[in-house]
Structure 1
Amino acid sequence: MNNLYKPLGIQIIGTQRSGSNLLRVILDQSEAIASPHPPHILVTFVPLLKFYGPLNESAYKILINDVVDYVEANPVPWEGIKINRDWTFENSTVYSIFEINRLIYEQAAITKKATYWCCKSMANVHYADELEQHNANLKYIYLYRDGRDVAVSFKKAIVGEKHIYHLAQQWTHDQQACIKLAERIEEDRFFALNYETLITQPEMLIRKLCKFLEIDYADNMLSFYNSNESKATAAAGEMWQNLEKPIMNNNTGKFHKELRSDEIEIFELVSHDVLKKLNYPIFTSLTNTRLTSPDAVEEYTADNNMLKKQILTNARQSDLDRRELQLQILRDIKSKVL
Structure 2
Amino acid sequence: ELMELFPDMLFLNVVRDPRAQVASMNRAIIHDFDTFLNARTWVDAHRVAQALLERYPARVLTIRYEDFLARPEEILRRVCGFFGIAFLPQMLDVGHSAEARQISTLSALWASNCYAPIAANVDKFKEQLSLDEIEIIETLARDLMAHYGYAPMTAASAVAGCDAAARLRSDAGRRTAWGELEKGGFRDFVLRRVRADYLANLRIRLEQAAARGVEATDPA
Q: TM-score, normalised by structure 1?
A: 0.54
User: Which runs of no fewer than 5 residues in structure 1 stay unpaired?
Assistant: 1-129, 331-338
Call closer, same or farther: CA 1:220–1:269 in 2, change over 3 Å: same
CA–CA distance in structure 2, aligned partners of residues 177 and 324 of structure 1: 27
1:313 aligns with 2:157: no
Give the alignment of 1:169-184 within 5 angstroms.
Answer: 169-184=40-55
Q: How many residue pairs align between the two structures?
A: 196
Q: Given residue 306 of structure 1, which amino acid in structure 2 is its aligned partner?
A: A
Identity %: 22
Q: Given residue 46 of structure 2, which amino acid in structure 1 is its aligned partner?
A: Q
Q: Given residue 169 of structure 2, which amino acid in structure 1 is its aligned partner?
A: D
1:267 aligns with 2:133: no
CA–CA distance in structure 2, aligned partners of residues 328 and 286 of structure 1: 35
CA–CA distance in structure 2, aligned partners of residues 218 and 262 of structure 1: 44
1:300 aligns with 2:171: no
User: Which runs of no fewer than 5 residues in structure 2 stay unpaired?
Assistant: 200-220
RMSD: 2.2
Deviation at 1:156, TM superposition (A): 1.7
Q: Given residue 9 of structure 2, which amino acid in structure 1 is its aligned partner?
A: L
CA–CA distance in structure 1, aligned partners of residues 80 and 69 of structure 2: 16
Q: In the alignment, what sits opposite 2:87?
A: 217
CA–CA distance in structure 2, aligned partners of residues 328 and 277 of structure 1: 34
Matched-pair contact (CA < 8 Å) for 2:30–2:196: no
Deviation at 1:243, TM superposition (A): 1.4
Deviation at 1:232, TM superposition (A): 2.5
Matched-pair contact (CA < 8 Å) for 2:12–2:62: yes
Of Structure 1 and Structure 2, which has the larger fraction of its residues in helix?
Answer: 2
Whose Rg is larger? 1
Q: Given residue 203 of structure 1, which amino acid in structure 2 is its aligned partner?
A: E
Matched-pair contact (CA < 8 Å) for 1:200–1:250: no
Deviation at 1:197, TM superposition (A): 1.0
CA–CA distance in structure 1, aligned partners of residues 94 and 65 of structure 2: 16
Q: In the alignment, what sits opposite 2:128?
A: 258
CA–CA distance in structure 1, aligned partners of residues 73 and 171 of structure 2: 41
Q: Given residue 304 of structure 1, which amino acid in structure 2 is its aligned partner?
A: S
Q: TM-score, normalised by structure 2?
A: 0.81
Matched-pair contact (CA < 8 Å) for 1:155–1:161: yes
Q: In the alignment, what sits opposite 2:7?
A: 136
1:166 aligns with 2:32: no
Q: In the alignment, what sits opposite 1:322?
A: 191
Q: Given residue 241 of structure 1, which amino acid in structure 2 is its aligned partner?
A: A
Deviation at 1:255, TM superposition (A): 1.4
